[in-house]
């Protein structure tokens, strides 16, 4: 009889932990009331880029790109990514990519205008381009992830875990909101902003905060043929998809609890992001605001993800703290969560992501 692993949370971390586990021969269950990629992941802007500021983050994204390639067919387009700003704005990202041996190109104003005539760059600005990067439509990815899990024989339970029961040094049983009780062998807790709720029942608390993040969809009337790009001077980010540009100005608000109901952003947020878009992208028509996205993001005090085992509970691995970078960090983090759960050494050093740095209590309730 094969080993069993139960994954709580069907986001990017949970889905790819499950896919990795079942491909390794384990019997896998995923529990999430919104189904695969139905939570915060489905509300994300959908950019996957290696242009981040830390070497480890770059390596995480490289791993995630590989894993996404095994699932995403119609949901992901390789557009590349352009980071626009003054050289001092881009230096940390350039250094991180150098350390990770990622190839990139340096473009000046005329280079950008030649390659993407409708993209405006100022004289004093430079642009860094990488060609590995993806534009992802999260709702389509959710369908593809669901199909992949079904194809692999993963059981998906659309319910919520309301409590975890412990026995000696293990999590032994889960209770669902339906009242069902499930015996478990190994558990990966990857429920994002809900992790702290379940950990709290064990007498544990992580130093994390929840914010509600917003992004916007603007219709330009025709395809732009642009890469995904970020504007480091105006602090915005954008993803092309058909005739749309999806993104905005990193708008977020503190939240008391994670919320998955759609929340309309303040009108000023939308108007500011529209001005940012119009500054960079030259169009024949005024972009039309179509809709907005909103979803919970979990952030740690040092802005790093967390991944590791819980002291005194040998069969529980916890992962999260993705800070809105779920599609970039999550797939690889999920693969590594599986490795830790079964006693294998992850391919990346995860010491900096250790859970203990964030725990404020260690007793069990």
Mean pLDDT by 10 residues, the chain (365 residues): 90 98 97 94 94 95 97 97 96 97 97 96 97 97 97 97 93 96 97 90 91 96 95 96 96 87 92 97 93 94 93 94 94 97 91 90 51
127 and 114, same structural domain?
A: yes
* Per-residue pLDDT tens over the stretch 260-282: 888 899 999 999 999 999 999 99
- Please tell me the predicted confidence (pLDDT) of residue 260: 80
- Please tell me the predicted confidence (pLDDT) of residue 365: 42
Note whether residue 365 is domain-resident: no
- Please tell me the predicted confidence (pLDDT) of residue 313: 93
Place of tokens 């340096």: 106
122 and 216, same structural domain?
A: yes
- Please tell me the predicted confidence (pLDDT) of residue 351: 86
- Please tell me the predicted confidence (pLDDT) of residue 261: 82
Choosing from 300, 326, 346, the residue where a domain stops is 300
Using the CB atoms, write b or e for 49-67: b if 16+ within 10 Å: bbbbebbbbbbbbbbbbeb
166 and 24, same structural domain?
A: yes
Q: Using CA atoms, how far apart are residues 20 and 299, in angstroms rounded to an integer?
A: 25
Note whether residue 328 is domain-resident: yes
- Please tell me the predicted confidence (pLDDT) of residue 360: 84
Note whether residue 364 is domain-resident: no
148 and 276, same structural domain?
A: no
Note whether residue 336 is domain-resident: yes
Angle, helix 55-69 to helix 87-99, in steps of 10 degrees: 70
Note whether residue 131 is domain-resident: yes
239 and 131, same structural domain?
A: yes
Total domains in the fold of the chain? 2
Q: Using CA atoms, how far apart are residues 315 and 241, in angstroms rounded to an integer?
A: 42
The CATH number covering residue 161 comes to 3.50.50.60
227 and 198, same structural domain?
A: no
The two three-digit tokens of residue 281, written as one number: 């992208």
Q: Quick check: pTM over 0.85?
A: yes
151 and 29, same structural domain?
A: yes
DSSP 200-242: HTTT--B-EEEEEEEEEEEE-SS---PPEEEETTTTEEEEEET
The CATH number covering residue 59 comes to 3.30.9.10
Choosing from 254, 284, 300, the residue where a domain stops is 300
Helices then strands (H, E): number in the chain? 8, 21
Q: Using CA atoms, how far apart are residues 130 and 50, in angstroms rounded to an integer?
A: 8
233 and 214, same structural domain?
A: yes
Choosing from 256, 272, 300, the residue where a domain stops is 300
Sign of CA dihedral 208, 309, 69, 99: positive
- Please tell me the predicted confidence (pLDDT) of residue 20: 98
Q: Can you state the percent helix, strand and coil of the chain, rounding each to 5?
A: 30, 30, 40
Q: Using CA atoms, how far apart are residues 10 and 297, in angstroms rounded to an integer?
A: 15
In a 13 Å sphere around the CA of 301, the CA atoms on its Cβ side amount to: 7
241 and 128, same structural domain?
A: yes
> How far, in whole angstroms, is CA 124 from its chain's centroid?
32
223 and 118, same structural domain?
A: yes
Q: Using CA atoms, how far apart are residues 43 and 138, in angstroms rounded to an integer?
A: 7
Note whether residue 363 is domain-resident: no
Specify the DSSP class assigned to residue 101: T
Note whether residue 325 is domain-resident: yes
* Per-residue pLDDT tens over the stretch 46-64: 999 999 999 999 999 999 9
123 and 12, same structural domain?
A: no
115 and 58, same structural domain?
A: yes
Q: Which domain holds residue 323?
A: 4-41+140-205+302-357
- Please tell me the predicted confidence (pLDDT) of residue 263: 85
Note whether residue 362 is domain-resident: no
């Amino acid at each position: 009889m094969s080993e069993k692993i139960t994954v709580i949370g069907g986001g990017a971390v949970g889905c790819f932990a499950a896919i990795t586990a079942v491909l390794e021969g384990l019997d896998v269950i995923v529990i999430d009331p919104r189904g695969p990629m139905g939570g915060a992941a489905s509300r994300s802007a959908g950019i996957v880029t290696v242009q981040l500021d830390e070497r480890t983050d770059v390596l995480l994204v490289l791993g995630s790109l590989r894993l996404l390639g095994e699932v995403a067919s119609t949901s992901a387009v390789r557009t590349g990514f352009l980071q626009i700003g003054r050289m001092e704005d881009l230096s940390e990202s350039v250094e991180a990519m150098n350390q990770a041996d990622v190839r990139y190109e340096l473009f000046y104003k005329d280079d950008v205008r030649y390659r993407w005539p409708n993209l405006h760059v100022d004289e004093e600005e430079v642009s860094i381009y990488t060609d590995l990067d993806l534009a992802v439509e999260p709702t389509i990815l959710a369908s593809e992830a669901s199909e992949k899990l079904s194809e692999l024989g993963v059981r998906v339970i659309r319910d919520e875990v309301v409590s975890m029961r412990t026995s000696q040094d293990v999590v032994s049983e889960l209770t669902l909101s339906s009242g069902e009780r499930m015996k478990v062998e190994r558990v990966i807790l990857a429920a994002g902003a809900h992790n702290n709720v379940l950990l709290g029942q064990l007498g544990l608390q992580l130093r994390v905060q929840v914010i509600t993040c917003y992004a916007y969809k603007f219709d330009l009337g025709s395809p732009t043929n642009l890469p995904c790009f970020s504007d480091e001077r105006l602090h915005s980010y954008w993803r092309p998809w058909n005739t749309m540009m999806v993104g905005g100005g990193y708008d977020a608000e503190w939240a008391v609890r994670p919320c998955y109901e759609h929340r309309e952003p303040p009108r000023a947020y939308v108007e500011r992001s529209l001005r940012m878009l119009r500054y960079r992208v030259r169009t024949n028509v005024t972009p039309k605001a179509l809709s907005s996205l909103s979803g919970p993001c979990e952030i740690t005090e040092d802005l790093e993800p967390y991944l590791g085992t819980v002291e005194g509970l040998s069969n529980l691995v916890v992962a999260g703290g993705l800070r809105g970078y779920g599609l970039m960090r999550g797939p690889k983090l999920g693969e590594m969560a599986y490795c830790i759960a079964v006693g294998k050494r992850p391919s990346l050093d995860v010491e900096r992501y250790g859970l203990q740095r964030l725990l404020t209590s260690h007793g069990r309730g």
